[in-house]
């Protein structure tokens, strides 16, 4: 099978990134994988990731041109799919003037989201009669997604148009599958549930390079929050929880890893000046597994999530979890069985759950044991890749 992927993840061009390695792994189960990445400017060049895996940047000046450039590159790749390279000197294969050619055989398109990449994928599907899979990595039907911005509401309208027109849909959690069934009229038999792969064995076997207990010796209990900085992560909720904890537990540290602009830090702390010694913000680290293994609790305060990769990583590393009812909650983390699941934006319940984790070391150990039993049954890489290929094969039958 030949696959054309449409993506917005520019880490594909970073030589040693995990995302780039994942693309190489995907290529191992396909005859050919060509990835068009939405990029701005002229920072990237066409890159050979593996013998049969190539990444093509759009390199557009304006975001509004992402779609059109991705469509042009994709059309060129498809028309020249039998050529070994498939790119011209300008970075784009010239497209013959013929219209609506049907490309026969074993070819599929997969788009990373039902928004900008999904739109380009749909136009390519229309022109070349190639089956299109659309992926959903976030809980776009959450009311918090809709309320967050006008941009999200427009994205949702686009998703509701594109999803029924896809030949296959891949979601990353059962939660999204249920919300999809409730909100969009599409063939649910075409929907595959497949999260992003996490190498559980690698997480478990990783050595500790950074010991948080030595790095921050003045604290008795370390709560880890690891996340990119985004509105839906609800960091103001972390501040409210911390303010309810530090009075009784003054030697508790809330460590936010992911980087946060200075102005945002100052804005959050100005409302809680007494927390300046209890909240520390660090930039992102490639040694996050050491943080998981030497912290005492993982906290997730998001308003919505597609899945929650960091939750699984914490589980695999032996770190108990307190989280809001998003993503994999109820599916992987079950309330008061192997973690605590609390309603979204409920600072009182989250504070109560964190206090219980601080006080009850036996409960923490029980949650760790039960979580490890779950992640030990996750598929290995080869099994996962077969499932990924099968999610696309469904469209070709």
Nearest to 366 by CA among 320, 315, 297, 314: 320
196 C-beta neighbours (distance < 10 Å), count: 14
- Distance between CA atoms of 204 and 87, rounded to whole angstroms? 42
Would you state the pLDDT for residue 57? Answer: 95
Alpha carbon distances (Å) from 373 to 47, 308, 329: 40, 18, 16
Over its C-alpha atoms, the chain yields an Rg (Å, rounded) of 22
Q: Which helix (H) or strand (E) holds 72?
A: helix 66-79
86 C-beta neighbours (distance < 10 Å), count: 19
Domains of the chain in start order, with CATH, are 2-197+380-396 (3.40.50.2000), 201-375 (3.40.50.2000)
- Cα 124 to the chain's mean position, in Å? 25
Would the pTM of this model clear 0.85, i.e. be above it?
A: yes
Q: 333: which strand partners?
A: 329
Phi and psi angles of residue 11, each rounded to the nearest 5 degrees, phi first? -65, -10
Token digits for 32? 């050919």
- Cα 92 to the chain's mean position, in Å? 29
Would you state the pLDDT for residue 368? Answer: 97
Q: In tens digits, what is the pLDDT along the chain, a chain of 397 residues?
A: 899 999 999 999 998 898 999 999 999 999 999 999 999 877 789 999 999 999 999 998 887 778 899 999 999 999 887 444 334 444 444 434 343 344 545 889 999 999 999 999 999 999 999 999 999 999 999 999 999 999 999 999 999 999 999 999 999 999 999 999 999 987 777 899 999 899 999 999 999 999 999 999 999 999 999 988 788 899 889 988 998 998 899 999 999 998 665 555 556 666 556 677 888 888 888 899 999 999 999 999 999 999 999 999 999 999 999 999 999 999 999 999 999 999 999 999 999 999 999 999 999 999 999 999 999 999 999 999 999 999 998 887 6
| Residue 255: strand, helix, or coil | strand
Would you state the pLDDT for residue 255? Answer: 94
Q: List strands edge to edge, sheet with 221-226.
A: 279-282, 252-257, 221-226, 297-300, 321-324, 340-342
């Amino acid at each position: 099978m030949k696959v054309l992927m449409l993506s917005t993840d520019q880490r594909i061009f970073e030589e040693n990134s995990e995302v780039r390695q994942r693309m190489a792994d995907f290529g191992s189960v396909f005859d050919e994988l060509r990835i068009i990445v939405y990029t701005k400017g002229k920072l990237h060049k066409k890159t050979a990731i593996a013998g049969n895996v190539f990444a093509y940047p759009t390199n557009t000046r304006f975001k509004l041109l992402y779609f059109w450039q991705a469509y042009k590159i994709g059309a060129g790749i498809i028309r020249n799919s039998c050529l070994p390279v498939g790119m011209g000197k300008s970075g784009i294969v010239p497209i013959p003037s013929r219209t609506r050619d049907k490309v026969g055989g074993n070819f599929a398109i997969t788009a990373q989201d039902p928004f900008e990449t999904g739109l380009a994928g749909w136009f390519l599907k229309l022109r070349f009669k190639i089956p299109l899979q659309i992926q959903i990595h976030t809980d776009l039907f959450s009311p918090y997604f809709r309320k967050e911005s006008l941009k999200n509401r427009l994205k949702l309208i686009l998703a509701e148009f594109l999803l029924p027109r896809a030949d296959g849909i891949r979601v990353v959690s059962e939660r999204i599958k249920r919300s999809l069934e409730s909100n969009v009229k599409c063939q649910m038999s075409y929907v595959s549930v497949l999260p992003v792969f996490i190498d559980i064995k690698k997480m478990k076997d990783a050595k500790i390079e950074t010991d948080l207990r030595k790095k921050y010796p003045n604290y008795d209990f370390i709560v880890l929050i690891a996340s990119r900085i985004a509105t839906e992560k609800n960091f103001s909720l972390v501040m409210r929880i911390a303010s309810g904890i530090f009075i009784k537990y003054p030697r508790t540290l809330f460590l936010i890893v992911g980087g946060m602009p200075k102005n945002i830090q100052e804005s959050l702390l100005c409302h809680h000046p007494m927390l300046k010694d209890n909240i520390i913000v660090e930039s992102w680290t490639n040694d996050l597994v050491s943080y998981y293994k030497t912290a005492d609790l993982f906290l997730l305060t998001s308003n919505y999530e597609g899945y929650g990769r960091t939750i699984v990583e914490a589980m695999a590393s032996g770190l108990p979890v307190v989280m809001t009812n998003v993503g994999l909650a109820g599916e992987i983390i079950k309330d008061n069985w192997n973690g605590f699941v609390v309603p979204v934006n409920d600072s009182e319940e989250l504070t109560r759950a964190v206090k219980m984790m601080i006080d009850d070391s036996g409960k923490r150990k029980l949650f760790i044991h039960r979580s490890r039993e779950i992640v030990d049954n996750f598929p290995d890489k080869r099994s996962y890749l077969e499932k990924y290929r099968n999610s696309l094969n469904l469209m070709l039958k």
